[in-house]
Structure 1
Amino acid sequence: MTRTAQVVVIGGGQAGLAAGYHLRRQGVDFVILDAQTTPGGAWQHTWDSLRLFSPAAYSSLPGRLMPPQTGETYPDAQHVVEYLADYEKRYELPLQRGIRVEAIHRDGPLLRVQTDSGAWHARAVISATGNWSRPFLPAVPGRSVFTGRQLHTVDYRCPADFAGQHVIVVGGGNSAAQIATDLTLDDHVNVTWVTQRPPHFLPDDIDGRALFDVATARRRALDAGRDDTGGVASLGDIVALPPVRKARDAGLLQASPMFDRMDRDGVVWADGTRAEADAVIWCTGFRPALSHLAPLQLRGTRGHIATEGTRAIGEPRLHLLGYGDWTGPASATLIGVGRPARDAARQITALFADN
């Protein structure tokens, strides 16, 4: 049995919910298919101490301010999960959970969305699957022979899992800094933080509010043909949240340069210096989860799907939302995904009017 909807949204995290909000306002018939069985998207799978970069009011989806978390300036992940669960109920968004989209095919004037529980036909599709399900691990020599534990950001939960151990945290971004801080502030864990280049902290008074404004200004400058302002990267790599600032100011966040290779017992630098380790946590980023789009053959030579805004240039019935700046300024953030979601909904409505 093949079901139908004007629009199928793939993914029920923050990007999918923002898309649903704007599609509802446009009066479009749509469904949101989510592989997760519970609300909250990737936020329900993060480490225990994770905090947002911005206060609640500046971390909101369209139409509904995130309420503050009692006693916290920067909300934790569980608060975000509760907010997203309330959001989808408040706007009665048509989510179907526990459904994994396997492939999208062209089927005449429609797109066929094949899932593990049947197919959908749609006039347009919004892919909002994010990247949390595709952690990236670098090809470091010797990684396969290391006998200790190897984890990615997605696997880390709390310092108690590493009591009495030496842990190496790899990465120079926010996740690495927060996880290294979490472990460093625990007296029962020995931590070495390793970065490709010296860590670059943003000024202490900058958080996600300023980052969103900077990313938006850069996108507008590029769209207008003006010089690249450098965007967020021009400010630094790491937001100095209070725990990170505490560890940094106490001299506990001293980063070592990236090691050259791994062996059975630890890591080895180019000069022969080595360090034994019980575990390595790779905070080395993610790749977009786009395998379901493979049948459309939209990827270029480097695996990138060309877009104009959120619309796929090679398939105007497809929009990609929430994967990063290439699908809208700051579109991978709570506050940033609203505008590109609105634009996608409007363009889809215009497409229907023209056909």
Structure 2
Amino acid sequence: MPDPSNLSTDVVVIGAGQAGLAVAYHLGRRGLQSGRDVVVLDRGPGPGGAWQHRWSSLTLGGTHHLHDLPGMSDTGLSFSTAPGDRPAREVVSEYYGSYEERHRIEVLRPVTVTRVSRWGDRYRIDTATGSAVASVTARVVVSAAGTWTSPRVPFMPGRELFRGLQTTTADYPGAAAFAGKRVAVVGGGTSALTFLDEVGEVAADVLWFTRRNPTFHDEEDELSPERGRVAVAIQDEAARAGRPLPSIVSVTGLPRSALVRRLESAGRLERLPMFAEMTPTGVITREDVAIELDAVIWATGFRPEVAHLRPLGVVNDAGGIAVEDGQVRGEPGLFLAGYGPQASTISSNRAARVTAKAITELLGR
């Protein structure tokens, strides 16, 4: 791929995680050449999407099932047989790198997209200083930026006063940083449970706070087809209406997995209602009880990364975008991949084929 300060192409894909690579693959199957007709931009230093930034103790054996990319069998690799005892960030990076090479998907790295704006009948994509390309113009933009760079931290009175350590899932430094500390884990999803497990082994004390009572179901790991359909339908309805997307766990609940059973046996699933405020040395409960803490882990989920799309006027005041079948309403050349009902790895793969078909029709290819 040529590397001038500016590029012009038919399609720009922002993000080389699961959703972005799946779209690039299907565009290639429809005859669009990567590096010429399609330019893929990624902010990471190498392959792997957000997985390359996850903490070292996270393994594929301890997470939800990761579905293969379309055409991944051509690489001779599959996540179904991937090692479950190595850091997931290493395994996924290796597998994605092999995938990009096998399917000749050229990715410009590192590129941090700062804004997407209209440029006559095209779009202009501007990037941060130090990126591998300064700007790109294109007829079509596919934003597959994901959520990892946009952790959700709820408003909490006094949070800025707390003198202890505060971290989000994206910045989690590993359990060793919490050795001997009194720690609060906030959040009701799988990441929160993982932190309760890891940190609970080394902390002096670990408390679990959630906004609502967690709901557990009897499925070991995977969602049932029915539960999955309900989750997708709720996400799709919110996306079409342009509302902020609900958290997945609020829709699906948590599986009664080996992790959950281990936490129950260790007595670490005693959930506490969300505290009312923070102080320099801890938190105050809604019953006005002070709890001393040294650290708080905000495992409170993520928002879709859409800040770069604000110049187009498609992001409403609530932070939502009206999206139907992956296409932004009122912007025929703008698509979101991995957004809302496409958030899971299997749904993003299926949706990528539909998106690629719509793009090639729009281009007249």
- Matched with 1:254 is 270
Are 1:19 and 2:23 matched, yes or no? Answer: yes
Aligned partner (choices 287, 296, 300) of residue 303 of structure 2: 287
Q: 1:261 to 1:203 in 2, by over 3 A?
A: same
Counterpart of 1:197 (choices 184, 203, 212) is 212
Task: In structure 1, give the amino acid aligned to 2:307.
Answer: S
Which residue of the partner structure matches residue 51 of structure 2? 43
Please name the residue that 1:227 is paired with. none
* 1:213-235 Cα deviation digits (max 9, x unpaired): 43577479979xxxxxx997687
Moved more, 211-220 or 35-44: 211-220
Whether 1:69 and 2:100 are equivalent positions in the alignment is no
Q: Does the 8 Å contact 1:214/1:231 carry over to 2?
A: no
Cα distance in 2 for partners of 1:324, 1:209 equals: 19
Q: What CA deviation, in whole Å up to 9, does each residue of 1:175-219 have, x standing for no partner?
A: 1112112222x1444210111122212314342575884357747
- 2:318 corresponds in structure 1 to 302
1:234 and 1:289, CA in 2 relative to 1: closer, same or farther beyond 3 A? closer
Whole-angstrom distance in 2 between the partners of 1:220 and 1:293: 20
- Judging changes above 3 Å, is the alpha-carbon distance between structure 1 residues 44 and 171 closer, same or farther for their aligned structure 2 residues? same
More displaced 10-residue stretch of structure 1: 244-253 or 345-354: 244-253
Secondary structure class of the residue paired with 2:216: coil
SS at match of 1:102: strand
Q: 2:110 pairs with 91, 98, 101, which one? A: 98
Structure 1 residues 36 and 236 mapped into 2: Cα distance closer, same or farther (>3 Å)? closer
* CA distance 1:211–1:289, shift in 2 (3 Å): farther
1:335 is paired with a residue whose SS is: helix
CA deviation profile, 1:292-320 (whole Å, cap 9, x unmatched) = 11221112242211111111112110001
SS of 2:217 mapped into structure 1: coil
**Post-superposition shift, 1:122?**
1.1
**Which AA in structure 1 matches 2:301?**
G
Residue 244 of structure 1 aligns to a residue whose secondary structure is: helix
1:59-92 deviation digits (Å, cap 9, x = unpaired): 21111152413466x9834322222222112211
Q: Tell me the residue number matched to 1:328.
A: none
Deviates more, 1:27-36 or 1:107-116: 107-116
Which of 117, 121, 137 is matched with 2:153 structurally?
137
Structure 1 position 83 matched with structure 2 position 87 = no
**Aligned match of 2:122:** 110
Aligned to 2:328: 312
Q: Quick check: 1:181–1:244 contact (8 Å CA) kept in 2?
A: no
Alignment of 1:149-228 (within 5 A): 149-184=165-200, 186-207=201-222, 210=225, 213-215=228-230, 218=233
Give the TM-score normalised by the residue count of structure 2: 0.84
CA deviations 1:133-183 (Å, max 9, x no partner) are 111211111111111111111111321111111110001112111211222
- How far residue 256 of structure 1 moved from its aligned partner, in angstroms, is 1.0
Q: Aligned in 2, Cα 1:314/1:221: closer, same or farther, shift over 3 Å?
A: closer
Give RMSD over aligned pairs.
2.8
What amino acid is the match of 1:197?
A: R
Q: Give the Cα–Cα distance (whole angstroms) in 1 for the partners of residues 43 and 121 of structure 2.
A: 26
Once the two structures are superposed, what CA deviation does each residue of 1:103-138 show, in whole Å capped at 9, x if it has no partner? 222122221222233221211110011111111211
Q: Distance in 2 between matches of 1:164 and 1:220?
A: 40
Query: Do 2:179 and 2:199's aligned partners in 1 also have CA atoms closer than 8 Å?
Result: no
Secondary structure in structure 1 of the residue aligned to 2:20: helix
SS in structure 2 of the partner of residue 315 of structure 1: coil
Whole-Å separation in 2 of the counterparts to 1:322 and 1:164: 39
- TM-score, L = length of structure 1: 0.87
* In structure 2, C-alpha distance between the alignment counterparts of 1:270 and 1:213, rounded to whole Å: 35
Change (3 A) 1:345 1:221: closer
* 1:27 shift after superposition: 1.0
SS in 2 for 1:5: strand
